[in-house]
A and B are shown apart, each in its own frame.
Chain A
Amino acid sequence: MPDYPIGGYMGKILEVDLSSGRISSRRLDEKIVRDYVGGRGLGAKLFYDGLDPAVEPLSKDNVLVFATGPLTGTKTPASGRFTVSYKSPLSGTIGNSNSGGQWGVVFKKCGYDALVVRGKSPKPVYISIKDNEVAIHPAGVFWGMNMHVLTDKLIEKHGKGFKVLGIGQAGENKVRFAAIINDKHRALGRGGPGAVMGSKNLKAIIVNGSQQINIARPDMLKQGINQAEKMMKAMAVTSTGLGELGTAGLVQLIYEHDMLPHNNFQDVKHAISNVKAITGEAIRDTILKRKKACFNCAISCTRGTEVDGKPGEGPEYETVVMMGANLGIYDLKTITRANYLCNEYGIDTISLGGTVAAAMELYENGFITKKDTDGLELKFGNGKILLPLIEMIALRKGIGDKLAEGSFRLAKAFGHPELAMVVKGLEIPAYDPRATISQTLGYVTSNRGACHLQGGYSVLLGFFGGAKEVDRFLLTTVPGHVAFQQDAGAISDYAGTCRFTAFAFGGNELSRIFSGVMGIELTEHDLETVSERIHTLERLFNVKAGFGRADDSLPERFFTETIYTGGKDRLIDREKHLKALLDTYYELRGWDENGVPKKETLKKFKI
């Protein structure tokens, strides 16, 4: 049992400096725990304290912070999550990404709450952690391997008890939206953490831990878990929906709400027969082999699939839409193969889809020609080019080298930055902002750029809110709802639990679980305050990195081109929607009119 006064923590931070090869550990500051708890919060704090916001993301000075939460690895449902924080090479904002699987739990059981990786190794290396034994190994033989081969090889070498996290060729080649992959199929995807790892010449981190996690008040934890589990069993979406259909079960629902992007967000029109070919139902009825789950998760939303004899995982909703419908591609096998390939090369499927969509629109408008593409017909609907293009991106071959820079840099390079569907350089996920005003506000105020989850996942409010439903076109009161949703969602990110549990239970149950694990009384309000603090700190980092109000915006398309949704033609009105909502949102957050956190706000949150 760890010698630490707060339950749920191992009490130590592991630090590895790849430039010097120095490995050290230090005690986790209790004050940080109380203010930032863990996961995304702990990551943000350690990252903020240790990094100059002006740093070049792909330089040796960027930092990677892997952090678990106090609930990670406990009996709390779906508590296998951990976060990595970094400065994003895609957006230049603070980056953080969250993943499930088993790696986070096993890392924590090595006796650490976080791992901070600094510097740059002169040669490819990987880190092994077996309980308290930490070592840096040469990774020359592994360099160039994809994540599947790498995982098998490392386990073969070190033994079955190890869990592998690493990068494929995309990370090595510093593709700006390269993901870190753990447990072969789970991705720390958004914002390019794989590229940061690649820039450090760090191929993998393998872990094998056996230590116990200290629970301060088991009875209270049990109460909280009982209540949470009851609610998960009672809610159709957590008891049946996600397990039966995976997240792609949302495809038809989102389509019916005229929100499913098409051809780089040009419209939301699709033939229903096409849509039906890529739904969660279609996955279940054709390629699904078995449902899979992350650590201690009864929801089991993960799809264990097989295409043409090749097994893999996925696709999820975002992948199906961003690498399918938004490219005019409705062939499930092609999308799934593309998904497998992204997992192998280590690529974020949302940004990849968004970047390919931008390339296709550039191509269809004649801004990119066949000369640029080595003969590839980058037309919407042309599924044949998807797999070769992914390889070209991962290996930075031909036009792939340009696409590897992400849609914003790509579109700008060809003279049409307006065709990049990004916020702060991060590709917009699979919900058209014109079809949900609340999601728009979420996209523009998410600290890592356009993110449905860190934007508060307002789609959830609009469709699954139940008693808490907020109409997706409502203007009044929306800033408050979005801020609340962002904060409520962040609780999972710093707890170490999966956001999908929020379909069934929330802060109320979590506060009991937190208190049971940590032995510190934490009310729902306390938890929300931690979230607010984290959101403000992340914003502060972005402000120092040069972001301001002008960056809290959408691509021009959404202000000038209408889509038919919610019974009429709609777009985002710059004044009436964006300006008005931002004004109120900033006010609620305690930020000034430029979106800079005010002094008193920093004081309030002890930043």
Chain B
Amino acid sequence: MPKETYCDLFRYVGEAALALHMENSHSGNISMMENLPGISEPALYITKTGSKLGHLRPRDICSPGLEKITYGVFQASSETNIHRGILKNARSAMHAHPLTATLLSFNNDSIKPIDKLGAYHLGEIPVARFEYPVGSQEMVEKIPPLLKKHKAMIVKTHGAFARGSSIKEVFYNLSLLEYSARVLFFAEILGVNAGKIQSRISAQLKKSYPGIPPDYTDRLDGHYETDDREILRQFEETCQDIFYLELSPFHTGSASVRDGKTMLYAPKASTPKGLPGPIFRIPLEQKASGRDAACGVSSTDKSLEIHRAIYANSRVNAVIHTLSSHAMAQAFQAIAQGSDRIIPADAEGGYLYPAIPVLDSNPRTDELVRQVVKYKMAAVKGEGIWSGGNTLGHTLHHPSSAKNICYFRNHLTMMHRMGMGPDVRALEDENGRSW
């Protein structure tokens, strides 16, 4: 990989991590290794100590040697030796400070996601306690073995380490970790019995069940099967908004627009600046075709099927699927309370959406499609928000509103618990109950 390319990757991931508040101005570090032609030992690239992840320049990345230490060590991050250990079993590693995941580490020995993507991809995330939890030898010894087994781990009260086959996959894992932690955090605040869901979901995962999300790949990122610059611009704008508004973790969700008998399909709807996913042109009729597989779409992934089904049963021209942590926590609460809807408490939300329908996990596709078509969007417990509209921009308005609606509800519930305001139900619009 040319130096410019990996420097750009470091920079974009660093900026994205800062945008997600995973770092303070100078915290965190990113590493990757690369096989260089004619050299037996792969090169290790890592961010310089004290560098600002939000503003990385080529000179902020140094090469301290993977096995045999080289001069880059003079500038390397203080956590270099931990990275060296992790990279024995991975191609890339990152240390970040995802706030909610770190917060949960104060009182938990592990984090067990209750959302499907987190539970499937990350599984139980270990939390490890260290006597000196910053760059210590104990961390050098204990973190790499943990990350051999797990994709991410949390240093109690400090932050997370993750590994992956590429810098992007590592950031995906961290971003997903923070999302799962936030869903869990708010769901528990809302009174959801997380333990029950955790045992059910882990039992489910032992079997193969429909709708398993695809494994992460960045193989075709930046590959576009259209040269229409305007539609590419719309995708870029929408997908960046999804990322920066935190409507979905990095490189999750999906978005599409209908174009005749095909759709332009972005299997990654949340993409920050410089880190786009691919955009494929896929026939609307063909189901789980060879073309789908060629696009890197797993046969177990239900997303593509839902996009097609929405187009087949409606006049919408754009579909977006996102994973908002605030909305997911609300969906968990709604289902736990036997409700089928989320009713906005705020005026803007209530004006636009009297109610957001909520479905239990693994819904029938036709039922989900019916709700999306009827209510512009629908939340599925642990699986995200589906929405349809006329254009990508128009469709984006729905999950974006859902996030705010659910943000208010979550925080109003917290405030009520602390005696700082009324029960959120007292603030719901009557209309929403019968909508």
Tell me which residues from 338 to 385 in chain B have a Cβ below 8 Å from any Cβ of chain A: none
Q: Using an 8 Å CB-CB cutoff, how does the interface string of A232-244 with B read, 1 for contact, 0 for none?
A: 0111110111001
Asked if B415 is at the interface (CB within 8 A of a chain A CB), the reply is: no
Q: Give chain A residues whose Cβ lies under 8 Å from the Cβ of B78.
A: 234-236
Residue of B nearest to A241 (CB): B73
Is B49 engaged at the interface, CB distance under 8 Å to the other chain? yes
- Interface mask (B305-337 → A, CB under 8 Å = 1, otherwise 0): 000000000000000000000000000000000
Q: Which residues of B contact A464 (CB under 8 A)?
A: 49, 74-75
Cross-chain contact A237 with B71 (CB below 8 angstroms):
no
Q: Are B50 and A468 closer than 8 Å at their CB atoms?
A: yes
Stretch at the interface among B12-20, B130-138, B290-298, B401-409: B130-138
The chain B residue sitting closest to A280, CB to CB, is: B71
Interface string of A272-284 (1 = CB under 8 A from B): 0000000111000
Near B by CB (< 8 A), chain A positions 233-265 give 233-237, 239-241, 244-245, 249-253
Interface residue total, chain A, C-beta cutoff 8 A: 26
Q: A466-B50, A466-B51, A467-B50 are in contact. Are A233 and B75 (CB under 8 A)?
A: no
Q: Is A465 an interface residue (CB 8 A)?
A: yes
A-side interface mostly = helix
Question: CA A469 – CA B49 in complex, angstroms?
Answer: 10
Q: A465-B50, A466-B49, A469-B50 are in contact. Are A237 and B73 (CB under 8 A)?
A: yes
**Distance of A234 Cα from B136 Cα, bound (Å):** 6
The answer to whether B77 has its CB under 8 Å from any CB of chain A is yes
Q: Which of B72, B73, B134, B135 has the most CB of A within 10 A?
A: B73
- Chain A residues with CB under 8 A of B132: 230
List CB contacts (< 8 Å) of A209-241 with chain B.
230, 233-237, 239-241
| Chain B residue with the shortest CB-CB distance to A238 | B78
Partner of B49, one of A236, A240, A249, A280: A236
Let me know if B76 is at the binding interface, CB within 8 A: yes
Residues of A within 8 A of B70 (CB): 245, 252, 281
A350 to B91, CA, bound (A): 43
A-chain residues with CB within 8 Å of residue B68 when the two chains form the complex: 281
Enumerate chain B residues within 8 angstroms of A467, measured Cβ to Cβ: 26, 50, 52
Interface membership of A505, Cβ < 8 A: no
Given the interface pairs A230-B132, A233-B137, A234-B135, the reply to whether A252 lies near B71 with Cβ below 8 Å is yes
Closest to A256 in B: B71
- Known contacts: A240-B69, A245-B69. The answer to whether A253 contacts B74 by CB under 8 A is yes
Knowing A236-B49, A465-B50, A468-B50, the reply to whether A281 touches B135 (Cβ < 8 A) is: no
Question: B73 touching A250 by the CB < 8 A rule?
Answer: no
Given A233, A245, A280, which contacts B136 in the complex, CB threshold below 8 Å? Answer: A233
Q: How long is the Cα–Cα vector from A235 to B79 in the complex, in angstroms?
A: 8
Query: A250 near B74 (CB under 8 angstroms)?
Result: yes
Query: Which residues of chain B (156-199) have a CB below 8 Å from chain A?
Result: none
Contact B51 A463 (CB under 8 A): no
A235 to B77, CA, bound (A): 7
- Chain B, interface size: which category? 20 to 34
Q: Could you tell me which residues of chain B, from 116 to 147, have a CB within 8 Å of some CB in chain A?
A: 132, 134-137
Q: B50 contacts A236, CB within 8 Å?
A: no
Nearest B residue to A254 by beta-carbon distance? B71
Contact with A along B48-63 (1 / 0, CB 8 A): 1111100000000000
Residues of the B chain whose Cβ atoms lie less than 8 Å from the Cβ of A281: 68, 70-71
What's the least CB distance linking B57 to chain A, in Å? Answer: 10
Q: Which residues of B contact A239 (CB under 8 A)?
A: 81
Minimum distance in angstroms from A557 CB to a CB of chain B: 27
Complex: A354 Cα to B13 Cα, angstroms: 46
- B208 to chain A minimum Cβ distance, whole angstroms, is 44
Instruction: Specify which chain B residues have a CB less than 8 angstroms from the CB of A469 in the assembled complex.
Output: 50
**Distance in Å from the Cβ of B72 to the closest Cβ of chain A?**
8
CA distance A156 to B74 in the complex (A): 41
Q: Which residues of A contact B74 (CB under 8 A)?
A: 236-237, 241, 245, 249-250, 253, 463-464
Judging by beta carbons under 8 Å apart, are B49 and A235 in contact? yes
Chain A residues near B49 (CB-CB < 8 A): 235-237, 464, 466
Residues of A within 8 A of B72 (CB): 253
Decide if A251 touches B134 in the complex (CB within 8 Å).
no
Closest to B26 in A: A467
Question: Chain B's nearest CB lies how many Å from the CB of A300?
Answer: 14
User: Which residues of B have CB within 8 Å of A251?
Assistant: 71
Q: Mark A450-492, 1 if CB is under 8 A from B, else 0.
A: 0000000000000111111100000000000000000000000
Interface check B252, CB cutoff 8 A:
no
B17 CB to closest chain A CB (Å) equals: 17
Would you call A250 and B135 a contact (CB within 8 A)? no
Residues of B within 8 A of A230 (CB): 132, 134, 136
Q: Which residues of A contact B410 (CB under 8 A)?
A: none
B135 touches A233 (CB 8 A): yes
With A236-B64, A236-B81 already in contact, the answer to whether A249 and B71 are too (CB < 8 A) is yes
Distance in angstroms between the alpha carbons of A467 and B23 in the assembled complex: 14
Taking the closest CB of chain A, its distance from the CB of B399, in whole angstroms, is 37
A236 to B74, CA, bound (A): 7
CB distance A236 to B76 under 8 Å?
yes
Question: What distance in Å separates the Cβ of A117 from its nearest Cβ neighbour in chain B?
Answer: 38
Complex-state Cα separation, A281 to B72, whole angstroms: 11
Assembled-state Cα–Cα distance A280/B64 (Å) = 13
Q: Which residues of B sit under 8 angstroms from A279, Cβ to Cβ?
A: 71
Complex contacts, A244 vs chain B, CB 8 Å = 69, 73
Given contacts A230-B134, A236-B49, whether A245 and B75 have CB atoms under 8 Å apart is no
CB-nearest residue of chain B to A281: B70
Chain B contacts of A253 at CB under 8 A?
71-72, 74-75
Determine whether B105 belongs to the interface, using a CB cutoff of 8 Å to chain A. Answer: no
B80 lies within 8 A of chain A by Cβ:
yes
Closest-by-CB residue of A relative to B27 is A467
Give A471's nearest chain B residue, CB to CB.
B59
Q: How far is the CB of B119 from chain A (nearest CB, A)?
A: 34
Closest to A239 in B: B81
Q: A241 — which chain B residues lie within 8 A by C-beta?
A: 64, 69, 73-74, 76
A466 with B71: in contact, given A234-B134, A236-B76, A239-B81 (CB under 8 Å)? Answer: no
CB distance from A436 to the nearest CB of B (A): 14
Distance (whole angstroms) from the CB of B160 to the closest CB of chain A: 18
Which residue of A has the minimal Cβ distance to B68?
Answer: A281
**How close is B264's CB to chain A, nearest CB, in angstroms?**
42
Closest-by-CB residue of B relative to A229 is B132
Quote the shortest CB–CB distance from B165 to chain A (angstroms): 25
Find chain B residues with CB under 8 A from A465 CB. Answer: 50
Q: How far is the CA of A244 from the CA of B67 in the complex (A)?
A: 12
8 contacts between A and B (CB under 8 A): A230-B134, A235-B78, A236-B76, A236-B81, A241-B73, A249-B73, A466-B51, A469-B50
The 6 A-B pairs with the shortest beta carbon distances in the complex, nearest first, are A466-B50, A234-B135, A241-B73, A467-B50, A234-B78, A236-B76
Question: Chain A interface (Cβ within 8 Å of chain B)?
Answer: 230, 233-237, 239-241, 244-245, 249-253, 279-281, 463-469
